[in-house]
């Protein structure tokens, strides 16, 4: 039996399984995906070891097998946690959207101003050494933190988010490489909205390890 015949026979005997794998790959690249959080830049919302459920059709369908959206039918809102490809690499990142197209953004130390309004926050008691706060953005709230190590970048002046671009930050504000360092995220580089932690192997999660909704 020739090599070609062996391959054809193998395909014929396993066509169902092969089609399943192709369908699964298509589903992950175009509809929904699960990604592992590789760092602590989104603590205390997400931890290194969390596996995320990403809705890849929330803002528009993705091109299968490529990190690119086909078209938009609704962009991210302030406060959304998204996966995206930043301008300086081809790796997927996960951050929180703070500025949408047309927003005016400025900084003063820890304070962030969006369209002239300061984002307010409330300190939360914690057993950890981190300074944890509940931040309010567009009527919703999420946790942020400032760790013992790391520094806030010095940003001078105000700027406007361009059309079809977004400004993103990590929730671990002094330990995150985000738009403060490498700029805006183009709309078609946003791959999806993070909706849940499917499961977690992080030692920082104790009781809530499965199906945790993300805010």
What is the Cα–Cα distance from 19 to 9, expressed in whole angstroms? 15
The pLDDT of residue 204 = 82
For residue 150, the SS3 value is: coil
Read off the tokens for 110. 């820890």
The pLDDT of residue 21 = 34
Beta bridge partners of 56: none
Query: How does the average pLDDT of the chain come out, rounded?
Result: 82
Catalytic residue among 56, 62, 95, 187: 95
Q: Mean pLDDT: which of 9-23, 44-58, 104-118 is highest?
A: 104-118
Catalytic residue among 41, 62, 187, 200: 41
Q: What is the pLDDT of residues 80-131, one digit of tens each?
A: 999 999 999 988 899 999 999 999 999 999 999 999 999 999 999 887 788 9
| pLDDT of 29 above 60 | no
The pLDDT of residue 15 = 45
Question: Does the annotation count 189 as an active-site position?
Answer: no
Residue boundaries of the structural domains of the chain: 1-30, 33-213
CATH number of 33-213: 2.10.109.10
Question: Does the annotation count 95 as an active-site position?
Answer: yes
The pLDDT of residue 11 = 45
Beta bridge partners of 213: 196
Q: Of the given ranges (43-47, 76-80, 119-123, 197-201), which has the lowest mean pLDDT?
A: 197-201
| pLDDT of 24 above 80 | no
What is the Cα–Cα distance from 116 to 141, expressed in whole angstroms? 19
What is the Cα–Cα distance from 30 to 67, expressed in whole angstroms? 9
């Amino acid at each position: 039996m020739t090599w070609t015949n062996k391959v054809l026979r193998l395909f014929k005997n396993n066509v169902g399984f092969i089609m399943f794998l192709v369908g699964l790959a298509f589903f992950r690249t175009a509809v929904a995906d699960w990604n592992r959080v590789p760092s602590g830049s989104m603590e205390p919302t997400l931890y290194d070891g969390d596996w995320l459920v990403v809705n890849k059709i929330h803002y528009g369908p993705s091109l299968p097998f490529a990190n690119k959206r086909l078209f938009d039918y609704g962009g991210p809102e302030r406060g959304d946690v998204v996966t995206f490809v930043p301008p300086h690499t081809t790796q997927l990142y996960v951050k929180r959207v703070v500025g949408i197209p047309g927003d005016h953004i400025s900084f003063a130390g820890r304070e962030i101003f969006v369209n002239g309004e300061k984002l307010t926050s409330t300190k939360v008691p914690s057993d950890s050494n981190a300074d944890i706060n509940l931040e309010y953005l567009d009527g919703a709230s999420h946790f942020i933190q400032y760790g013992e190590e790391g520094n806030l970048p010095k940003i001078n002046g105000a700027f406007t988010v361009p059309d079809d671009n977004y400004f993103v930050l990590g929730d671990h504000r002094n330990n995150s490489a985000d738009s403060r360092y490498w700029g805006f995220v183009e709309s078609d580089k946003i791959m999806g909205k993070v909706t849940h932690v499917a499961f977690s192997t992080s030692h920082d999660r104790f009781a809530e390890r499965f199906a945790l909704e993300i805010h």
